[in-house]
Amino acid sequence: MNNIVISAPAGSGMTYATLLLKLAYNNKAEGCGHERFEIENSGPQIVILRNPYDTVASGAERWVKGSGHSNFEIQGQAIDATDLEGMKNNIRNEEARYLTFFKDIESLDHIKILSFELLTQNTKKFIQEAGSHFGYTYDSDEELEAKTFNELKIHGYENRAPREKFPARQIIEDLIAEKYKKQTWESWKIYSELKAKLDEKGL
């Protein structure tokens, strides 16, 4: 059978979910990417839906020095926590990626959308639902989440696990709340409609 393939905008838990599913299904899972073009003409995929405020904030946070994304710092792309204009630019970029990713996503019938809340609050069901889209069944492992957190540490992905907020995160969240109002934000409208449908299904 094919590997379980997972996609999501940056900041949606894709790295954690990929490692979780690899451990659950004998290494038969892989992360695809953060861009819409990567899911357009693909085989079956799982997509993680997280609200745009947290997703955009988490995505933009990656570009700040000290956030734990060392590859950005090595490449000289990370910005200082005092660089507000740089933060605003990264917020705009991440918001545009989120909107592009989810707009009309229901037209892709090979995609199964699961919520970030299912991943973090009902992990066993997330694993079962993701596996079922690819024809797998899951034998429960009570230690799986602990094993996944350990794998994150081994691979240097501690910042992909639930953690204390990085100090610059509050600045980023305030900038997003100021710029994007729920009443007029297209990304929030798309998210709300998708999330309501997932809630009805318990996903």
Per residue in 114-149, pLDDT (tens digit) is 999 999 999 999 999 999 999 999 887 778 877 877
Q: What is the mean pLDDT of residues 38-54?
A: 94
In this prediction, residue 180 carries a pLDDT of 97
| pLDDT tens digits, 163-202 | 566 778 899 999 999 999 999 999 999 999 999 999 999 9
Q: Which two tokens stand for residue 170?
A: 């509050």
Calculate mean pLDDT across residues 71-75.
Answer: 47
Distant-in-sequence, close-in-space partners of 14: CB < 8 Å, separation ≥ 6: 6, 7, 8, 31, 34, 48
Q: Indicate whether 161 pLDDT > 70.
A: no
Q: Collapsing DSSP states into helix, strand and coil, what is residue 196?
A: helix
Give the predicted TM-score (pTM) of the model. Answer: 0.87
- What is the pLDDT at residue 176? 96
Domain 4-201 has what CATH class? alpha beta
Give the per-residue pLDDT at 200: 98
User: For residue 167, which of 77, 61, 45 has the smallest C-alpha distance?
Assistant: 61
Q: How far apart are the C-alpha atoms of 97 and 56, rounded to whole Å?
A: 9
